[in-house]
Amino acid sequence: MKLSNNDNKQYKHLTLDNGLRVLLVNDPSSEKSASSLAINIGHFDDPIDRQGMAHFIEHMLFLGTEQYPNRGEFAQTISQFGGNSNAWTGTEHTCYFFDVRADKFADVLPRFADFFISPLFEESALFDERNAIDSEFNLKVKDDNRRIIQVHKETVNPAHPFTKFSVGNHDTLGDHSGSIRKEVIDFYNTHYQAQWMTLVLAGPQSLQELTQLAQSSFSKVSGSAKSKPPIAVPMYREQDLGLLLHIKPRKHLQKLIVSFAMPDIADLYRYKSLSFLAHLLGYEGDGSLYAILKKNGWINALSAGGGVNGSNFKDFNISFALTDTGIEYYEDIVEMLFEYICLIKDKKSSLPSLYQDKKRLLELAFDNQEVNKLIDWVSSVSVNMHHYDDDNVLYGDYCMEGFNDDLHEQLLGYLSPHNMRLIMIHPSATHESETINKIAQWYNTPYQVERISPDWLRALSNIQAALPEMLLPNVNPYLAHDNKLYEIESTAQVPTQLKDKPGFEFWFKQDATFRVTKGHFYLELDSEISITDHKAMALTRLFADLFMDSVAEQFYSAELAGLSYHLTSHQGGLTLHTAGLSSCQLKLASQLVEALQKQPISATRFAEYKKQLIRHWKNHNKNKPVSELFSILGAKLMPWNPTPEALAKALKNVCFNEFNTFRSTFFNSIHAKAFLHGNWQNKHAKAVQQQLLCNFASSEILEDLKKPLSTIKEPSVEFYTKENSEHAFVQYIQAPSHNVDDKIKIMAFNQLISQHYFEQLRTQRQLGYLVGAGYAPFNTRAGIAFYIQSPKFTSAELLEHHNNFIAEFVEHIDQLEQTQWEDVKSGLKSQIAEKDKNLRLRSQRFWVAIGNDDHAFSMQEQLLFSLQSLTFQQLKEFIIDVTAPDFPSITLQMN
């Protein structure tokens, strides 16, 4: 099995007698254990008259089995033991996964295995969960991605399973003849077969112990020698190609998608030929298709290589985010795409060296992988086991065996005008020629279909040469550096502050734990001008977006070389973050800091981004009342964080000259914090520090800007009305103080109540699909938020259900001391004490501590100490206090 150089785990492949393929992973560094089971069953397998069945069964498996019949008990157990669980249903695969404290894994795994042995499918649970599926569907009806995919489904071969309705609703899953339970059981027995499953068990347990757990828990899963029948019909018939689709979105989207139909190509992953082609077409440097179209003012973004795919089909998409002008020139954009494809064909001799660049980067990425959360990793690996052979389960995503000339030519052959579909997505999507006006089923998407003119297709086919200004990427200069792992100079556990002048903090820590040739650099610049009013706050965000746009071409090679950079706005200023390979990152960071003050930004791009940002803010919470209420809550508690609507209004009348004045004034007086963490030594840190002092030598240095927070002084209720929107409420309880004891009490309250809240109000009472309680700190002060969104119940009714639940919870709270308190406490302890899995997470934790002035980096220890001394009686008294009707809180209702 191909392993990364920094992978210290042990692996063992195993196939049980029933045909279930298992990967066992011993990870001594993990405090948790995790499992994931992926099955080659998805919504493609739904019966025509029971669409949504695979998704329905995914929900039902969590609601009781013969051995463990209590509904919601699995989720409650997982939560008590400091873990998480989830599942998803895709086109041809469904995946279930969970994690828990390692010492509880052997107790929980049989519960999980019983999903696949003897689920109950109890009648009342079927009825309730059908309501949950219907709520989920109603929540997604307004989602533009699903609305657009439905048009795709209706314009391909109707015999292909891609056309099926994946979610399901009351109609497709209704018990019309009283036989739904039998149909569910029949589907489950037919499809939930061990030979179509893959299982991953991972944790600190030995491979021998994991082997015994796999065999004892999963040997009873039903299996046979039967193979999965392949899809027998093509996705596209001849009449499904050469189409131009006009789709009207709900939000303001302007996009052109050029889509080429391909079959599934065996062993494509070994060469990454399609990814390499996408890399060439998606290039954003000088002479690229992106750069030329952007210079013309036609696009804001380009991406290549996306598209739906499955076991007998693959869409290869090139997507263009269009400007208003670009909508008028979409034919020219398509023509220039084919001219750029000609360039790729003509410059074939230069492709192997560019391929080697990409191959080297993937090898560096594989050998410098950072450990992810175990639950995420096992779910990904269990799916990979369906796509890659055993030796490449971990390496398949990175494998590039060599430039395959024949495969490259085959793929280029599919990039033909006659093998193309065009999708225009625009709010006023209409066309002057003869069209068919349609409304898509389920999602009610307005769309039109027309055939692309044969004359234009012939003209596109006759394009034989690229434009003179078109260029392929060069060999990447950022990959020329040797990626050296530096010797450790210091074993300090936390960052140290280099001596600095007041108002300019610089922190550094050499990584001595993860030993990867990577690093992170953070720079926070606070400026008083950014918080003057809502207009200044909006201009700060616009500056961040325009800066990222203005440097995209210049630093695209850095992105290709495994480096990333982001300039974002925060309350009070801007934050620059760079990450990736350490060898050339400091050069990139230096260039970006210099560009902050000097990079030219044009009036044209200002006008375009101002318009796009205002649209984004206006779209932000469209049809998501819970999100809108949380935006309002955030603005009430944090004065420097206004609502998207307020920002859009403030930016509306800003002119280019005003923006330029703001930009130059921003740097007149600043407070700076910087942090360098990773594969560097002290000499590198000092050089960066000196460079930053030079960069901002002319700036006046401010005292640190302290982010303000509004204290809730009394209970308040506010009501909002919005047409064509669901009902919702959010209730927020702020911790009585900033101190650590109150913070841990809020965290323990959330740990104790959240799963009960979800189980009672979502699973049993079926109030809506979005139901939850969550720990919600604002500007370091702890709090807990409760929220429900519903298509059926008014916010007043939802709030009544909420109040009744809280009253009942408090009334019976003493029962939890015996049954759950110790497990809840242990679960919370394991969450707080969880070690940083990778360099990224550790960098984030240190950076947050620096931002919060926790210069001892001791918040984790303080929380654990407070939790250790917390008694159930203290928590009970706290919960009774903060849930009392007269305790300060904010309740926001919509409709």
Q: If DSSP states are collapsed to H, E and C, what string results for 178-221?
A: CCHHHHHHHHHHHHCCHHHEEEEEEECCCHHHHHHHHHHHHCCC
Measured in degrees and rounded to the nearest 5, phi and psi for residue 375 equal -65, -40
The per-residue pLDDT for 725 is 86
Question: Cα–Cα distance between 434 and 453 in angstroms, integer?
Answer: 11
Enumerate residues 6+ apart whose C-beta is below 8 A from 397: 269, 384
Picking from 766, 768, 808, 806, the residue whose alpha carbon sits closest to that of residue 788 is 768
Is a pLDDT exceeding 80 seen at residue 400? yes
Is a pLDDT exceeding 90 seen at residue 834? no
Tens-place pLDDT, residues 98-111:
999 999 999 999 99
Question: Cα–Cα distance between 587 and 32 in angstroms, integer?
Answer: 39
The per-residue pLDDT for 430 is 58
- Looking at the whole model, is its pTM more than 0.85? yes
The per-residue pLDDT for 434 is 53
Is a pLDDT exceeding 70 seen at residue 220? yes
- Judging by DSSP bridges, how do beta strands 436-439 and 446-451 pair with one another? antiparallel
Tens-place pLDDT, residues 785-798:
999 999 889 999 99
Picking from 251, 252, 248, 42, the residue whose alpha carbon sits closest to that of residue 148 is 248
Picking from 670, 685, 780, 695, the residue whose alpha carbon sits closest to that of residue 495 is 685
Give the pLDDT band (50/70/90) at residue 177: confident
Residue bearing tokens 């970006």: 592
The per-residue pLDDT for 316 is 97
Is a pLDDT exceeding 60 seen at residue 658? yes
Question: Cα–Cα distance between 307 and 360 in angstroms, integer?
Answer: 26
Is a pLDDT exceeding 70 seen at residue 24? yes
Query: What SS3 class is residue 327?
Result: helix
The per-residue pLDDT for 889 is 97
Q: Which of 100-104's residues contact partners 24+ apart within 8 Å by CB, and which partners?
A: 100/32, 100/33, 100/34, 101/31, 101/32, 101/33, 101/826, 101/827, 101/830, 102/30, 102/31, 102/32, 102/33, 102/203, 102/204, 102/205
Tens-place pLDDT, residues 52-71:
999 999 999 999 999 999 98
Report yes or no: 572 and 531 within 8 Å, Cβ to Cβ.
yes
Give the pLDDT band (50/70/90) at residue 769: confident
DSSP letter at 775 equals E
The per-residue pLDDT for 724 is 82
The per-residue pLDDT for 723 is 86
The per-residue pLDDT for 208 is 98
Question: Cα–Cα distance between 341 and 345 in angstroms, integer?
Answer: 6
What average pLDDT does this structure show over 366-390?
93
Question: Cα–Cα distance between 494 and 510 in angstroms, integer?
Answer: 9
Tens-place pLDDT, residues 712-750:
999 999 999 988 889 999 999 999 999 999 999 999 999
Rounded mean pLDDT of the chain?
93
Give the pLDDT band (50/70/90) at residue 483: confident
The lowest-confidence range among 417-421, 614-618, 875-879 is 614-618
Tens-place pLDDT, residues 690-707:
999 999 988 888 888 889
Domains of the chain, with CATH numbers? 10-218 (3.30.830.10), 238-370+381-471 (3.30.830.10), 496-701 (3.30.830.10), 716-894 (3.30.830.10)
Cα 85 to Cα 375, 580, 581, 748: the distances in Å are: 8, 30, 33, 19
Q: Count the residues in the chain.
A: 895
Question: Cα–Cα distance between 420 and 409 in angstroms, integer?
Answer: 17
The per-residue pLDDT for 176 is 79
Question: Cα–Cα distance between 269 and 885 in angstroms, integer?
Answer: 59
From the DSSP assignment, how many helices (H) and strands (E) are in the chain?
30, 26
Give the pLDDT band (50/70/90) at residue 818: confident
- Judging by DSSP bridges, how do beta strands 890-894 and 716-720 pair with one another? parallel
Give the pLDDT band (50/70/90) at residue 290: very high
The residues with which 535 forms a beta bridge, in sequence order, are none
Query: What SS3 class is residue 728?
Result: strand
Give the pLDDT band (50/70/90) at residue 435: low
The per-residue pLDDT for 503 is 78
Report yes or no: 498 and 685 within 8 Å, Cβ to Cβ.
yes
Picking from 829, 797, 817, the residue whose alpha carbon sits closest to that of residue 879 is 817
Enumerate residues 6+ apart whose C-beta is below 8 A from 721: 894, 895
DSSP letter at 760 equals I
The per-residue pLDDT for 623 is 63
